[in-house]
């Protein structure tokens, strides 16, 4: 039996997987990208992903090189300022407000925010136009066999393909990772995140606002206007029981709860989409590569949605892997390249996960003593200009 052969098989059609397919295809490699579930590409239908992704500066550069940014730029809301608010006093009112302005370190915004459902729509349309990419939606990877020279991937439609490299981007419960025999370490916080869109009377002025009280951060990220009103994406992290209570509230009561938790910084908040709810975990794979297989994105690591680090860290994986492949195109998927990829990425990701874990635990703090310590820490960090600049550069992925 003759098997179809590709340079690269990308298993997983989330945002990271679709970006990987575009990036490798643009670099001249033949790519097959598969995903069992065709993406929902409309805002207000069942199953749409109402979360948003803030692409930081390095991520935008990768999207430009992959040929994707031209399709996305007109839909993006720039993030010029990151505002951190501590509201940990007796009442939900701001005690400390600190702004981190991108102008302090760059001529560009920190990043650009886009809805996930729209990202999938534009990325799928782009991949369907690429002669180097075969996109098969409704098809999954079911089995994997590797040897020194190539990998063989069994697909759910009964076909088998061979390739030089399998890029595993099939999520936190990855089939490819399991077939490759790679374990993960998982931390559960007892939290969930509500993700939705809101409108508000006070313009956001391209400021991303993260409000800390207890249970987890309450983050409003700029979106383009919706139905003529200023709009933001909201990610509201709370302990699981409270998150489910909020999820089930009648709309009027939910709007009131959102407005109170926001310290009314943008005036009354009004729900402008469905509510969705997501579990919060941290997870990291024991290694990011095995024979002919590289793990990227949530297959390799999962972090709480704080500081726009999730997908941007995932695209950091892709950038390293792509650069190695372009430098040595004849040996992609080889032992040397994958060893370098694992070495470069796992230590950096592990450090970021520890940092985000500490931030999340600090944001969850319920006792007044810990809340006061969090406020004092924010004041101290902001007050030291070199430290403030370093934190902003680290947030962008700069070394």
CATH code for the domain of 383? 3.30.9.10
Same domain membership, residue 266 and residue 250 = yes
The sign of the dihedral angle between the CA atoms of 59, 197, 118, 168 is positive
Q: How confident is the model at residue 182 (pLDDT cuts 50, 70, 90)?
A: very high
List beta partners, residue 162. 5, 152
Lowest mean pLDDT among 80-84, 196-200, 267-271: 80-84
Question: What pLDDT is stored for residue 266 in this prediction?
Answer: 97
* Phi, psi (deg, nearest 5) at residue 38: -55, 135
Indicate whether 309 pLDDT > 50.
yes
Q: Are 120 and 252 contained in the same domain? A: no
| For residue 2, pLDDT beyond 60 | no
Q: What is the pLDDT of residues 223-266, one digit of tens each?
A: 999 999 999 999 999 999 999 999 999 999 999 999 999 999 99
Same domain, 227 and 328: no
DSSP, res 314: H
Helix (H, G, I), strand (E, B) or coil at 204: coil
pTM above 0.85, yes or no: yes
Whether the pLDDT of residue 391 is over 60: the answer is no
Q: Are residues 334 and 372 in the same domain?
A: no
Counting the structural domains of the chain, the total is 2
Q: For residue 394, name the pLDDT band (cuts at 50, 70, 90).
A: low
Q: Which residues contact 28 (CB under 8 A, 6 or more apart)?
A: 132, 329
207 and 321 co-located in one domain: no
38 and 89, same domain (yes or no): no
SS3 content of the chain, % helix, strand, coil (to 5): 35, 30, 30
Task: Please indicate whether residue 345 or residue 46 has the higher confidence score (pLDDT).
Answer: 345
**Both tokens assigned to 120:** 């999938």
Please state, in angstroms and rounded to a whole number, the distance separating the CA atoms of residues 152 and 154: 7
Looking at the structure, tell me whether residues 17 and 93 fall in a common domain: no
Tokens in use for 254? Answer: 């939910």
Q: How far apart are the C-alpha atoms of 294 and 292, rounded to whole Å?
A: 7
Does the pLDDT of residue 335 top 50, yes or no? yes
Q: Which of 117, 126, 119, 114 is nearest to 33 (CA)?
A: 126
Question: What pLDDT, on the 0 to 100 scale, is given for residue 387?
Answer: 47
Confidence of residue 360 (pLDDT cuts 50, 70, 90): confident
Q: In this structure, are 201 and 265 located in the same domain? A: yes
Higher model confidence: residue 64 or residue 40?
A: 64
Phi-psi map region of 267: left, alpha, beta (phi>0 left; psi -120 to 50 alpha)? left
| For helices 15-26 and 57-65, angle between their N-to-C axes, nearest 10 degrees | 50
Residues contacting residue 69 through CB under 8 Å, at least 6 positions apart: 60, 63
In the prediction, which pLDDT does 399 show?
45
pLDDT at 388 over 50: no
Which ranges of the chain does DSSP label H, i.e. alpha helix? 15-26, 57-65, 69-72, 116-127, 175-179, 240-248, 251-261, 310-327, 335-364, 368-383, 385-395
On whether both 221 and 98 belong to a single domain, the answer is yes
Q: Answer whether residue 310 shows pLDDT above 90.
A: no
CATH of the domain at 15: 3.50.50.60
Predicted confidence (pLDDT) at residue 53 exceeds the cutoff of 90:
no
Residue 364, pLDDT > 80, answer no
Average pLDDT, whole number, for the chain?
Answer: 89
Strands 207-212 and 81-86: parallel
Given this model, what pLDDT does residue 390 score?
A: 52
User: What is the pLDDT confidence band of residue 375, given thresholds at 50, 70 and 90?
Assistant: low
Instruction: Identify the pLDDT of residue 54.
Output: 85
Residue 393's pLDDT band (cuts 50, 70, 90): low
13/121 same-domain check: yes
Instruction: Give the mean pLDDT of 262-287.
Output: 95
69 has pLDDT over 50: yes
DSSP 299: G
- Please give the residue range of the domain that contains residue 162: 4-71+116-186+282-358
Tell me, yes or no, whether 25 and 173 share the same domain: yes
Lowest model confidence (mean pLDDT) among 75-89, 140-154, 156-170: 75-89
Which residues, including other chains, have CB under 8 Å from residue 134's CB and lie 6 or more apart? 6, 30, 31, 32, 33
Neighbour count for residue 300 (Cβ, 10 Å): 29
Mean pLDDT of 45-71: 88
User: What DSSP string describes 363-377?
Assistant: HH--SHHHHHHHHHH
Q: Comparing 307 with 179, which gets the higher pLDDT?
A: 179
What pLDDT does residue 216 have? 84
How confident is residue 299, by pLDDT bands cut at 50, 70 and 90? very high
Same domain for 98 and 238, yes or no, is yes
């Amino acid at each position: 039996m003759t098997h179809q052969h590709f340079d690269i098989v990308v298993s997983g059609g989330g945002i990271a997987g679709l970006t990987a397919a575009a990036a490798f295809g643009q670099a001249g490699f033949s790519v097959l990208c598969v995903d069992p579930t065709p993406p929902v590409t409309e805002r207000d239908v069942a199953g749409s992903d109402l979360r948003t992704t803030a692409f930081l500066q390095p991520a935008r550069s990768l999207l430009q090189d992959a040929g994707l940014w031209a399709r996305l730029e007109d839909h993006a809301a720039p993030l010029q300022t990151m505002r951190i608010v501590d509201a940990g006093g007796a009442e939900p009112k701001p005690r400390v407000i600190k702004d981190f302005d991108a102008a302090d370190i760059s001529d560009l915004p920190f990043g650009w925010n886009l809805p996930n459902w729209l990202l999938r729509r534009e990325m799928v349309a782009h991949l369907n136009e690429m002669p180097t990419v075969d996109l098969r939606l409704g098809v999954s990877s079911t089995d994997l066999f590797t040897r020194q020279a190539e990998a063989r991937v069994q697909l759910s439609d009964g076909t088998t393909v061979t390739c030089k490299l399998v890029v595993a981007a099939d999520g936190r419960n990855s089939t490819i990772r399991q077939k490759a025999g790679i374990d993960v370490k998982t931390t559960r916080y007892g939290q969930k995140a509500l993700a939705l869109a809101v409108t508000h009377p006070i313009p956001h002025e391209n400021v991303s606002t993260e409000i800390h009280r207890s249970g987890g951060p309450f983050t409003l990220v700029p979106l383009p206007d919706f139905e003529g009103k200023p709009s933001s994406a909201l990610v509201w992290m709370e302990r699981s029981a409270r998150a489910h209570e909020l999820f089930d509230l009648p709309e009027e009561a939910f709007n009131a709860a959102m407005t109170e938790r926001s310290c009314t910084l943008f005036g009354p908040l009004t729900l402008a989409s469905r509510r969705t709810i997501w579990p919060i975990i941290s997870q990291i794979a024991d290694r990011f590569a095995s024979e002919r297989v590289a793990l990227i994105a949530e297959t390799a690591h999962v972090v709480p949605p704080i500081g726009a680090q999730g997908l941007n860290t995932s695209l950091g994986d892709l950038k390293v892997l792509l650069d190695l492949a372009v430098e040595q195109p004849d040996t992609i998927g080889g032992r040397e390249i994958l060893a370098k990829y694992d070495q470069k990425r796992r230590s950096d990701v592990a450090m970021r996960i520890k940092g985000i874990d500490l931030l999340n635990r600090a944001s969850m703090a319920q006792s007044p003593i810990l809340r006061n310590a969090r406020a004092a820490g924010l004041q101290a960090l902001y007050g030291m200009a070199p430290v403030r600049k370093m934190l902003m550069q680290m947030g962008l992925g700069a070394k």
